[in-house]
Structure 1
């Protein structure tokens, strides 16, 4: 039986499009706070440091819920977990449109973060049930483009909505959109039927091979993937929280122009992420090792991005030039969100994949929790209208990206890991 047995392209790509739409909603939920930062801080009388705490609070229970639901994903069909998430997201938007105190807003964001945390690992686990290993880069890359489109729409629409109807209206609209997706998923959502067959077993009904979690979590390849994810989420949290303020308060763009610049930065990520994911998948189909097609490609993207973030502090760059540099710097590392889970899937048994991708996302997302708070302190210390203050904050992303690239080059070797294999794929009942 070859790796394409049980593979149904039409159904697989239909589910991919549905989950891409959910990713769009997910990132609208995440970015909306950063997009309304200026009027929200004014209305709630928040300092930059206080706003950093509010923004980071989204991730306080993000990791815990991600791990817990990751383990549930090994036992419960992903379509039901995803439906529960969609409904909860929709309901949790409404309190954010009503609360006015910092404490109440933090509580609302903490609960929403717990509800949204498991989305990515559960979605990737769901997609891997539809696609064999050699075809997994592109669907996950497309899933990530849902996030990019969400950020793009945020840049174009949220400033306009805020200008005409106030910043609270954005949360009401997000609740309506989430409810509509949930109804559609209830009607169309299905579970994939691909599972990797262990070597040496003649039957697809053979019991799955499990590896002790202490062995998986001490593996250098797994730990290196975690580090890559941490750096990627650090950059993502920093950009989502502080880019809009940087454009508006430091570079001097108007609110609507800042939104358009934000959309341009996000739009730049799409061709880079899809193009690098396609290149990686093409290299794999031509016989390249995962070390070359996935790991080295990621490391190059991270290193170049780090250099560009540092270049923002070079003298002589005008506001438009800084936007262009920032766009490419933020675009290159985005491929990590497609390739890192694929590397994990090579070395983790199918029956434990949901949990490991959940643990990966949980640990990685702590970067997105820490970065907004640290940058908030840097901005407050050096002045919230100073471009240099924000650029010092974004330089922390450069440090994280470079460290992660060096760690991966040294210790990330999926082809040497005992679980790395070319085990064939067989239909499963799940």
Structure 2
């Protein structure tokens, strides 16, 4: 009796090949998670070093906010450009190039630290990091079919929260004991070390059509060595439908909170709640731990619900929207709470919204042909992260215009809360991936 055969991208393969492919897929996922850890640590380092940087260069809150916002100046544009490039270039090569580029962006700060150098460094870093998250997800999703895609996608996004949780105390140690420049140098070295490992481990996944990703290569018979030809769906239809617009609205509200967290939460803890720099550095870890947990738990649960018969609309769309709404309510109540309750509300307000990002990526995989997925995911990310351009600067202006930093933060939190509640509600009402998949003739059910 012969062993069961598995059909892969290039023909019939045995069970041993299937096992090796699965192991390779998880190895790629682990590397991508490590990449996202470094990626988000790079984002966080400026916020963690805010106090010594503002003191050294005599910056006001508004001036510092402008530097923080400059990170996003080219972030969205580069995400779109690289996203469309990924239709023709392997994602493994793209990720390696991006990691090299953002590691080199520390040079202006290390060689000649100044306000202009900070602007150059952050703008260049944003351009290099803008495409990273959608390209990382796209790379991982080529290794896993729909039924087993939730956890790898969640882990990829969880890497960001882990980056913030792991990096905060580590970078604060460098900043406190060796100066804030040392933190930039450590992150540059970590990025280059990742590239060396990626050269040995990184490979392109075999699930390169929608049909293969839907069913998995192992479910295609030996007589059918090629996946069904993907239907042509115009970018206009992919970008202008209720599901895509709903994920955009919920994502913008969630990303505003993330940008506010990274740029201003340490300063809020020090100026409004009276924590020391070390205490603030330790406390900002807590929302990131919660974020890491929900980034893994919520997509995993949504995958189980869908395998049990739930629709993507309920398991992913409604769930993601409600999570963002709850975070918005916590954010709105934060200024009116006592110290202990304020920490709890802060943890939920900044920790919960990130769960919507892997859900949105999974929704995108449900409704977008693989050959256009990189471009669509990157464009979605680009538009969502525009909130990062605005949020730090707007927060700085609100603080400068307020009679006290505390009242300024209260106003900034109210703006963020409103965006999350409205965005989450739009997501709940409009996201329906099964409907779009039928309209695009990707599925017949």
| Conserved 8 A contact 1:348-1:356 | yes
Q: 1:260 aligns with which of 260, 279, 282?
A: 282
Structure 1 unaligned segments of length 5 or more: list them: 425-430
Pick aligned residue for 2:189 from 176, 183, 186: 176
2:62 paired residue number: 49
Equivalent runs, 1:3-402 vs 2, <5 Å: 6=8, 8-194=21-207, 195-197=209-211, 204=226, 207-314=229-336, 317-318=338-339, 320-382=340-402, 386-402=405-421
Do the aligned residues in 2 keep the contact of 1:210 with 1:351 (CA within 8 Å)?
A: no
Q: Distance in 1 between matches of 2:51 and 2:444?
A: 52
- For the residue of structure 2 that corresponds to 1:312, the secondary structure is helix
Question: Does the residue aligned with 2:105 lie in a helix, a strand or coil?
Answer: helix
- Answering whether residue 434 of structure 2 is matched by residue 415 of structure 1, we say yes
Greater RCO (Cα-Cα under 8 Å, separation 6 or more): 1
CA-CA distance at 1:224 after TM superposition = 1.4
The worse-fitting range, judged by mean Cα deviation, of 251-260 and 265-274 is 265-274
Q: Give distance in 1, aligned partners of 2:304 and 2:440.
A: 23
Q: Structure 2: how far apart are the matches of 1:16 and 1:44? A: 41
CA shift in 2, pair 1:174/1:311, >3 Å = same
Name which of structure 1's ranges 117-126 and 139-148 shifts more when overlaid on structure 2.
139-148
Measured after TM superposition, the shift of residue 206 of structure 1 is: 5.6
Aligned length: 417
CA distance in 1, matches of 2:429, 2:124: 38
Q: 1:420: Cα distance to partner? A: 7.1
TM-score, normalized by length of structure 2? 0.89
Separation of aligned partners in 2, 1:92 and 1:39: 20
**Normalized against structure 1, the TM-score is what?**
0.93
Structure 2, unaligned runs of 5 or more: 1-5, 9-17, 215-219
Distance 1:242 1:5, change over 3 A: farther
Residue 274 of structure 2 aligns to a residue whose secondary structure is coil
Report the more deviating stretch, 182-191 or 97-106.
97-106
Deviation at residue 134 of structure 1 after TM alignment: 2.0
Which residue does the alignment assign to 2:14? Answer: none
Deviates more, 1:171-180 or 1:262-271: 262-271
- The alignment yields a C-alpha RMSD, in angstroms, of 2.0
**For residues 107 and 154 of structure 1, what CA distance do their matches in structure 2 show?**
23
